[in-house]
Structure 1
Amino acid sequence: MDALALTLGWLALLAAALWLASLYVLARTFPLDPCAAPRLTMRHQAALLAVAAWCLLPAPVSLGDTVLRPEAAVLVTVGTLATAWFGYRALCDALQRRPLLLAFVLYGLLGYAVWGYHQLFGASGAYLHSGALLVTLMASNLHGASRATQPCAARATLRRRHNRYLTLPLLFTLLCAHAPDLMANPYAWQLLLLIGGLLVLIWYGLEQALTPKWALSSALGVLALYVAMPDGLQREARARPAAPSFAAAFKHAIPTPEPLDTHREFALVQRIIQDRCLECHSRTPSNPVFQATPLVPTFDTPEQILTWKRAIHEQAVASQNMPLANLTQMSQAERDLLGLWIEKGGRIE
């Protein structure tokens, strides 16, 4: 699965690079008449990029990095992409004469989508799904640029401009979807929005022939944001100390000098999950706010814990998004124990 995902990732990067080159050539060849630009020359790049990006979407589900069941993940993915396709076209038609307002509305909606993807599919899934969402918008631009319901020049110019601005953020999502340091950062989705927006601004500055000072000021702004958060982003970005061993972490919980075997290791893991997770992730959740639903994984049995161990690591250890708002007070030692058990293979017997 990893080899297939890597191959598809590089294929998507190649298609995105070809698309970017095509946009550059067409912008120089047809600077005054966007409607004269042949769409057929871009359909091959669009089809290759869309297929490669969409084929990457099952990776988070297959690797267990999502909190949803596979059928629910498919429904969420297809639903959001379809909504993005039709919603984007409707917004472009409604706000075509107000491009600045359209840009702010689209950025806010994209931010909401990225946050939702991060909550449901983890950091890597958020980047992959965000890339697929951008591909869908770009394909919608290519499909809708020549509709005859509105003046062609204004519509084609707006759609082509959006495709130019979306290409660099798309490349960033595809390049960084498997970066371990970024994926383990609890601010992964905020960084995607921040850097993606910065890439759009840099592209805009280069396109408008603005001075290098403008790009430098943008970079310094991001650096100032990083420096201004010493207790947040920087602290989480630093490498964490090595997780303690099972015997060291739980020497008081298990008062015995004997080394812990696999069965007893899992007993500790299961006890943590029972205390911190089953309040919501159970067929009979004790939290009245949450009801049992087939869309949410359950950890009632050892087999279920084993099935969802990758998602547990992503949500409770790497990003620490779960438990939700840490309502059950999971400690760092407990997170370290879960991570160490999964890194050792996550065996139950």
Structure 2
Amino acid sequence: MYDLAVMGEWLEFAVRWLHVITAVAWIGSSFYFIALDLGLRKSPDLPPGAYGEEWQVHGGGFYHIQKYLVAPERLPDHLIWFKWESYATWLSGFALLVLVYYLGAEFYLVDPNVLDIPVWQAVGISLASLGFGWVAYDAICKSRFGDDNTRLMILLYVILVAMAWGYTQVFSGRAALLHLGAFTATIMSANVFLIIIPNQKIVVADLRAGRVPDAKYGRIAKQRSTHNNYLTLPVLFLMLSNHYPLAFASEYNWLIAALVFLMGVTIRHWFNTRHAGRGNPYWTWGATTILFLIIMWLSTAPMFHQRDAAATPEGAAQRFAAAEGFDEVHQIVTGRCSMCHAAEPVWQGLHWAPKGVVLETEADIARAARDIYMQAGLTHAMPPANLSWMEPAERAAIVRWYRAATNPG
């Protein structure tokens, strides 16, 4: 049993590592080509059919790049396709979703305090929502409504906000934001798999058959690629959010997610404008900062009004152990948390303390004061899905104790 547990842990590690590697490759190539596309310049000596060119320097050499909106007169034999980065990112991400959230649904997916449903229903809703996202998005893009890209992006934003709220009504806060990221990433990867690459293959087939390719396929691919460009940064935030309870365990987690999508637009607008040589829209820096400050406020509203501990962990531990309310908190933590956070966990299926955090002794609890406050007092991230039924009064006691220690007198 222990060996199987170790193998499972390393399998999750390997899949997560693969997911990060492929995501870096996909995002890197996506950002590069958007920057390249925006930086293209007209030149009087461009070959027939060429839209623009760009000179770049890297790695001790110079690159001369030309873009054809449809295709060159002669199709080269050594075409390089950028697609496997996208496919591998989505496949590894879905595998991670299965390993962490489907197989660990009791801890991470289902929260009876949000919606008490069996695991199979939660998994079914998860899968159906990912499929719905692509079908709805693709249908809107292909409709007459999708002819106006600005109008289309506004509607897409409304759908994403609605899904953010909807996910928080079904899943745990951690799973809700993660699923919103998966919902968006599915749209992005499907854009590559079902639209961008097939359209490019149609153009290649026409060229090889001696036909003149239709320019509409390039325009459609460009539209979907632009959408992916603006969605990338919010997806990264949502995928990382499961490590930060102030993002996923807040009462306003769905609104935080909505504002993150706006930050993605402001950040990418600055880069895209710069790459296109249209100036420096520094107002986007201010807008992004304001949005992030609002997110910070929402993450703790209306509870947060104290400063954090400034002492070193060792020095702070003594103060936390001596603070008013520590005896009560010690009882709460040992009763609600230490069945998992122990040198030898007694919770079925756990073979070691999550994240290596042990909360058995008074010293353990005092040293972990800030994490206990963040995870179980200020937010409801722990216990996961509130499996040990921590009461609101107990969370309030943790908050009072922490504030008493960090704001003496």
Q: TM-score interval w.r.t. the shorter chain?
A: 0.5 to 0.7
Match of 1:280 in 2: none
Aligned to 2:173: 123
CA 1:40/1:202 → structure 2, altered by over 3 Å: closer, same or farther? same
Q: What amino acid is the match of 1:87?
A: A
Structure 1 residue 232 corresponds to structure 2 residue 275: no
**Alpha-carbon deviation of 1:89?**
0.6
1:206 is matched with which residue: 271, 278, 286? 271
Contact 1:124 1:177 in 2 (8 A): yes
| Greater CA drift, 120-129 or 173-182 | 173-182
* Percent of aligned positions that are identical: 23
SS of match in other structure, 2:282: helix
The whole-number CA distance in structure 2 between the counterparts of 1:114 and 1:237 is 29
Structure 1 residue 153 corresponds to structure 2 residue 218 = yes
| Corresponding residue pairs, total | 277
- 1:55 aligned onto 2:115: no
Equivalent residues in 2 for 1:115-264, closer than 5 Å: 115-142=165-192, 143-145=194-196, 146-147=198-199, 151-209=216-274, 210-222=279-291, 225=294, 232=301, 235=304, 244=325, 248=328
Structure of higher CA gyration radius: 2
Bigger relative contact order, structure 1 or 2 (CA pairs below 8 A, ≥6 apart): 1
Give the match's secondary structure for 1:201. Answer: helix
The aligned runs of 1:1-349 (5 Å cut-off) are 4-27=11-34, 28=36, 31-33=67-69, 41-58=81-98, 59-61=100-102, 62=104, 63-65=106-108, 66-67=110-111, 68-94=117-143, 95-142=145-192, 143-145=194-196, 146-147=198-199, 151-209=216-274, 210-222=279-291, 225=294, 232=301, 235=304, 244=325, 248=328, 319=379, 332-335=392-395
Deviations 1:87-116 (A, max 9, x none): 111011113311111111111111111222
- TM-score by length of structure 1 reads 0.63
Distance (whole Å) between structure 1 residues aligned to residue 271 and residue 97 of structure 2: 32
Work out the CA distance in 2 between the residues paired with 1:244 and 1:30.
69
More strand by share: 2
Amino acid at match of 1:64: F
The RMSD of aligned alpha carbons is 4.4
Deviations for 1:218-264, whole angstroms, at most 9, x for unmatched residues? 1343266369879826728976999956x748xxxxxxxxx99x9xx
Deviation at 1:319, TM superposition (A): 4.5
SS of the equivalent of 2:147 reads coil
Amino acid at match of 1:9: R
Q: CA distance change for structure 1 residues 231 and 198 in 2, over 3 Å: closer, same or farther? A: closer
Q: Which TM-score applies when normalising by structure 2?
A: 0.55
Q: Please, which runs of 5 or more residues in structure 1 have no aligned partner?
A: 250-258, 267-302, 304-309, 322-329, 340-349
